[in-house]
């Protein structure tokens, strides 16, 4: 029996709010240092090369831990893993706030990211557990709320970071995690019942698979980060090429290991489904296009337009508005019976058009035009947030839902790292400005995302007034029409 199905609203609603808060904190802390980076480097030392590493340290550990959290949650339950991950996140946040040197801050960011890997992945999976397909309207509503929290964290992070850097001190970006995180921890511990799958795994722990997966992903992400910091932008740089080649080799060795594992950490059978694989690819490519916008635009506003950290964050508001509106329109289209694929394709088209428009961005570009372009990028990114998550969770069996959720989150994180590495490499060239950098990264990624979405089966999700049609893909993993 699933204890979540009969959970009373007085427990379900506060627990859901705590899970949304966990997702918000995880995304927020990935972006909050963006506008505060110049102030941080100036106060505790370092050079401009620390810009990417302070973001990457968090991204690296949160990414490599995501598939492990997701798979273990399917096998052993989600509640304890989430509570443990939230505790690690709060310890890392405290260490970041107290850091006096750049190496200590980097190490603390890595610890913080290790806990954050659980917050977003398991928070998303538990929200789906609390609002299953048997409550489709609640599912759509909660996925919309989750995507809104992610938008607020992604775009609100630079705004909050700028405000704190200018008026309270950058350390408050980490101190503020403690009260909100502790409240969320208590609500989850007190209100959310423990639940383990009915059938416990019978095989041994896939230690070799975990080691190969985390090591391979870690080397790939380090290689991408080094690529962004390489002045000449060469993929053939020994450090860059060595990390990427080593990481890809370990991931290739993972395939035969997982085929033989009794309880694999990465079930390869999920990738046999064309829709699942295409959705992961589309999520990765959406982030390749979107990540440089949120990270590099604050630097453009501060360095080329001489705005303060607070103002540069506020100037990103059109991006936030576009993401929120785009996500909401996606949810409305889904509930009215529109095909998920067509909605996501519209998002890819808008994202491509918006990043292409930034090609002309310069020191004298009118702010209203910049705002329109940011709004277009946001409208294009919004559908990929809630829409991709719902589609990914709906095309696999319920027993693999945590793994599928983790796969979707991991693909987006790798896409963000790859996009940032490519953009940083282009930006390092003396003749490339922020606008063209974003355009040359975003346009190809947007077009490739559209190509990946063309391989997705037309998913039509159930709503209160319309059950799944005959032949449509079902949450049990059955294949639908092509």
| Residue 181 shares a structural domain with residue 237 | no
Is residue 129 domain-resident? yes
State mean pLDDT over 146-150: 72
Q: How far apart are CA 251 and CA 2, in angstroms?
A: 35
State mean pLDDT over 443-470: 71
Res 198: pLDDT: 57
CA distances from 115 to 22, 53, 83, 366, 412 (A): 11, 18, 9, 41, 18
| Residue 216 shares a structural domain with residue 330 | no
Is residue 1 domain-resident? no
| Residue 85 confidence (pLDDT) above 70 | yes
Is residue 481 domain-resident? no
Q: How far apart are CA 412 and CA 291, in angstroms?
A: 10
- Measured in residues, the chain has a length of 482
Res 8: pLDDT: 81
pLDDT in tens, 184-223: 999 999 988 877 665 556 566 788 888 898 899 888 888 8
Beta strands in 155-274 (DSSP E): none
State mean pLDDT over 337-350: 82
Per-residue confidence at 270, pLDDT binned at 50, 70, 90?
A: confident
Contacts of 403 (CB under 8 A, 6+ apart): 67, 70, 71, 74, 266, 267, 270, 396
CA distances from 363 to 187, 206, 307, 376 (A): 48, 54, 12, 20
| Residue 275 shares a structural domain with residue 390 | yes
Q: How far apart are CA 325 and CA 299, in angstroms?
A: 25
The tally of domains found in the chain comes to: 2
**323 membership: H or E segment, kind and range:** helix 317-335
| Residue 344 shares a structural domain with residue 401 | yes
Res 88: pLDDT: 95
Res 473: pLDDT: 44
Q: How far apart are CA 87 and CA 369, in angstroms?
A: 44
Res 298: pLDDT: 79
Res 136: pLDDT: 55
Is residue 4 domain-resident? no
| Residue 330 shares a structural domain with residue 442 | yes
Please state, for a pLDDT cut of 90, what percent of the chain lies above it. Answer: 17
pLDDT in tens, 364-382: 888 899 999 999 999 998 8
Res 419: pLDDT: 87
54 vs 292 pLDDT, higher one: 292
Is residue 334 domain-resident? yes
| Residue 107 shares a structural domain with residue 150 | yes
Res 460: pLDDT: 57
Q: Helices (H) and strands (E) in the chain — how many of each?
A: 17, 0
CA distances from 238 to 197, 232, 234, 243 (A): 46, 13, 9, 8
| Residue 429 shares a structural domain with residue 349 | yes
Is residue 480 domain-resident? no
Per-residue confidence at 477, pLDDT binned at 50, 70, 90?
A: very low
Res 289: pLDDT: 92
Which residues constitute the domain of residue 88? 9-193+261-453
Quote the DSSP letter at residue 468. P
Per-residue confidence at 472, pLDDT binned at 50, 70, 90?
A: very low
Res 337: pLDDT: 54
pLDDT in tens, 283-334: 999 999 988 888 788 778 887 888 876 787 788 888 888 887 887 777 667 6
| Residue 107 shares a structural domain with residue 228 | no
Per-residue confidence at 446, pLDDT binned at 50, 70, 90?
A: very high
Per-residue confidence at 178, pLDDT binned at 50, 70, 90?
A: very high
255 vs 4 pLDDT, higher one: 255
Is residue 461 domain-resident? no
| Residue 99 shares a structural domain with residue 229 | no
Supply the CATH number for residue 178's domain: 1.20.1250.20
Is residue 476 domain-resident? no
**DSSP letters for 34-66:** TTTHHHHHHHH---TTHHHHHHHHHHHHHHHHH
| Residue 268 shares a structural domain with residue 404 | yes
| Residue 51 shares a structural domain with residue 168 | yes
| Residue 365 shares a structural domain with residue 321 | yes
């Amino acid at each position: 029996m699933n204890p979540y199905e009969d959970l009373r609203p007085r427990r379900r609603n506060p627990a859901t709010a705590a899970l949304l808060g966990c997702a918000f904190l995880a995304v927020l802390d990935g972006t909050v240092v963006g506008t505060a980076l110049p102030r941080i480097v100036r106060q505790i030392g370092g050079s401009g090369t620390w810009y990417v590493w302070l973001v990457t340290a968090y991204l690296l550990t949160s990414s490599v831990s995501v598939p492990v959290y997701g798979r273990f949650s399917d096998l052993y339950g989600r509640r304890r893993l989430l509570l443990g991950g939230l505790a690690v996140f709060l310890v890392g946040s405290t260490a970041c706030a107290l850091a006096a040197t750049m190496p200590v801050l980097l190490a603390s960011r890595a610890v913080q990211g290790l806990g954050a890997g659980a917050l977003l992945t398991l928070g998303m999976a538990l929200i789906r557990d609390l609002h299953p397909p048997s409550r489709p309207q609640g599912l759509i509503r909660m996925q919309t709320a989750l995507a809104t929290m992610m938008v607020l964290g992604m775009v609100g992070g630079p705004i909050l970071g700028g405000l704190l850097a200018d008026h309270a001190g950058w350390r408050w970006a980490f101190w503020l995690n403690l009260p909100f995180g502790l409240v969320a921890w208590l609500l989850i511990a007190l209100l959310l019942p423990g639940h383990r799958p009915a059938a416990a795994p019978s095989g041994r722990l896939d230690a070799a698979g975990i080691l190969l997966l985390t090591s391979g992903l870690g080397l790939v992400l380090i290689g991408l980060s080094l690529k962004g910091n390489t002045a000449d932008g060469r993929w053939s740089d020994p450090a860059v090429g060595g990390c990427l080649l080593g990481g890809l080799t370990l991931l290739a060795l993972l395939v035969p290991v997982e085929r033989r594992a009794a309880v694999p950490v990465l079930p390869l059978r999920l990738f046999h489904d064309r829709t699942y694989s295409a959705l992961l690819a589309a999520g990765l490519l959406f982030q390749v296009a979107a990540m440089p916008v949120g990270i590099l635009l604050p630097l453009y506003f501060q360095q080329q337009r001489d705005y303060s950290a607070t103002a540069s964050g506020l100037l990103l508001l059109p991006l936030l508005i576009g993401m929120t509106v785009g996500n909401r329109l996606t949810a409305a289209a889904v509930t009215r019976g529109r095909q998920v694929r067509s909605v996501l394709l519209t998002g890819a088209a808008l994202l491509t058009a918006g990043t292409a428009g930034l090609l002309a961005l310069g020191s004298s570009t009118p702010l209203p035009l910049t705002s329109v372009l940011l709004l277009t990028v946001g409208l294009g990114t919004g559908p990929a947030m809630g829409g991709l998550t719902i589609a990914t969770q709906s095309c696999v069996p319920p027993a693999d839902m945590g793994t599928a959720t983790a796969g979707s989150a991991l693909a987006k994180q790798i896409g963000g790292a790859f996009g940032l590495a490519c953009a940083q490499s282009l930006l390092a060239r003396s003749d490339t400005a922020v606008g063209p950098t974003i355009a040359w990264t975003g346009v190809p990624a947007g077009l490739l995302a559209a190509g990946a979405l063309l391989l997705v089966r037309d998913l039509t999700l159930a709503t209160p007034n319309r059950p799944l049609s005959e032949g449509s893909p079902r949450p049990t993993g059955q294949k639908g029409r092509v």
